[in-house]
A and B are shown apart, each in its own frame.
Chain A
Amino acid sequence: MSARRSVSLTTGAVLVGLVVVAAVVSLVWLPYSLYDTSGGRLTPPGAGHWLGTDTLGRDLATQLLIGARIALATGLGAVLVGGVLGTAIGLAAAFARPWLDDTLSAVLDIVIAFPTLLVAMLLVAARGASLGTAIVAIGLVMAAVVARLVRILARRVLRQDYVTAARTSGTTWARIVTEHVLPNIWPTLAVNLALQFGLAVLAEASLSYLGLGAPPPNASWGRMLQDAQQTAFEAPAGVLAPGLALVVLVIGANLFADGLRDVADPTRRGRRAGGTAAPGLQTGTSGGDALGTAVPVASPVDPDGRPA
């Protein structure tokens, strides 16, 4: 991995890591209690309250730390729901007969057409606002996006000769999925899930901002923004803190996704040695294949991975 490529990955990991640390810390220690309103209205940042207080006198730093927990929980929860459900549906569509595949694809397209917030609002209207409902709503829309991606990736894999070889080797379809399909779609899927994580965090923040997230005393960054919005110029810390926190987490997730994609790029591997991911080409040996010694040959390949 060249130095340039790992920067995205490490930077992203560091940024996300900061938020993770904040969330973990919040589980064992908080500067104040969330219910403690003794700080005085809109106290500026100082020794007592590092980020100041909000309009009700509650410590902002405390809320920020708890908000980290909520942001991560939503991100991970939604990715889990969306990832698992989406993969299952996507695989089903990939294996399905044409008519079923068409039906599923149409349903997925319809779900994707709905803005996430709209779906969330519908669910909240039905089941009441809560963190769980928010996670499920975001997860459901994510599942549709993931399913569409998995369907395409899985179909591409299923067309490969190594899947046919697995069948003629007697491997059951179930094992083909676990041993061949999933490992091969995972790199691209992981990148997508990392991006979805960031989107999920933003979606939750939006929901909380609109008052549709977890009910008070919820400390979501989105809700913090809502509270601080009227007094933004009087006490900027109230807006800057949650805003920056969101930026750090989402950009961190996106950078991490970029880094993952760079690491998983198959044409990079093709540069080091003789093989590439380009099928159907005239290829052969570049040194000593008569004895077939397995020497990684630095065979000339162009950046598309084709032998020259």
Chain B
Amino acid sequence: MTSAITVTDLRIATDDGTTLVDGVSFAVEDGGRLGIVGESGSGKSLTALAVLGLLPAGLTATGSVLVGGVEVVGASERTLRGVRGSVVAPVFQEPMTALDPLMRAGDQIAEPLRRHRGLRGAAVRAAVREAVTDVALPEPDRVVRAFPWELSGGQRQRVAIAMALACRPRVLIADEPTTALDVTVQAQVLDLLDTTVAQRGTALLFISHDLPVVARTVDRVLVLESGRAVEEGPVRDVIAAPTHPYTQRLVGSARTLQDALDAGRRGTR
């Protein structure tokens, strides 16, 4: 049984020779949850794009990226289209740019349904409504007819998640999905991701710089620094006892801030 995603020795370099991702390997099992943590320049977002076959022009990937058993590195656009949406689906950071501002939310969710599940007419409308209620959007009828700018950030992100999950992909790739959201909304969206992913047995590749957010969402974590994997393991272990100096710094910084908040909560600031 193949893993949902298997990445072996992925290298991404610019056309003039700069290496941005250097020999990264990892696997995401069906139903598993892997977090990729790193700061800016770590290559984590590029890795996500490579898995989706969406690397921008000027960057080349070498190595192997198997998505649902299909090789994505160097694959034709046709192959990639077959994989995107049905095997792997993304949720990006900025809901405002991920959604087409000129299309109603319902139509955007319907698009992948039409393409990958071949639904039409009443079936599509029913599926869209189901998708919208699955992501716990209040007033589903209003949301379906709404344009992105009529929705709040949290609502837009839920629509983006609905779009991603509409075709029941094997694995969801979320790249900083809650970074642009308020903290209370973030908590709700993370809860949502948690439950929907668990319910459907979808695998999750969760990418973020925010260590606590990653910690509560995934089972295993991979730490990237400047394009290299420096540490990997079960998330609780890595955070409780980081072995690599970079990971130690990351965890240290996160703890400093958390300790400050805890001290405040105890009234001992």
Contacts and interface: CB of A to CB of B under 8 A. Distances in A.
Instruction: Name the prevailing secondary structure of the A interface residues.
Output: loop
Interface stretch (A60-68, A185-193, A255-263, A281-289): A281-289
Interface string A268-288: 000100000000011110100
A302 to B, nearest CB: 5
A284 B42 CA distance: 10
For A283, A284, A300, A304, the residue with the greatest tally of chain B CB atoms inside 10 Å of its CB is: A300
Interface residues of B, number: 21
Given A282-B176, A303-B57, A298 B18 contact: yes
Given A282-B179, A300-B20, A300-B227, A308 B43 contact: yes
B148 to A, nearest CB: 18
Interface of chain B, helix or strand or loop or mixed? loop
Interface residues of A, number: 16
Given A284-B39, A308-B44, A303 B59 contact: yes
Given A282-B209, A300-B20, A302-B46, A308 B58 contact: no
A299 B56 contact: no
Nearest to A2: B16
Given A282-B179, A286-B226, A299 B40 contact: yes
Contacts of A284: 39-41
A307 interface: yes
Nearest to B13: A300
Interface string B53-94: 000111100000000000000000000000000000000000
A301 B16 CA distance: 13
Contacts of A271: 14
A300 B226 contact: yes
Contacts of A299: 40-41
A307 B45 CA distance: 9
Contact of A308 (B41, B57, B179): B41
6 contacts: A283-B40, A298-B18, A302-B20, A302-B59, A303-B56, A307-B41
* Shortest 3 CB-CB contacts between residues of A and residues of B: A307-B40, A300-B20, A286-B41
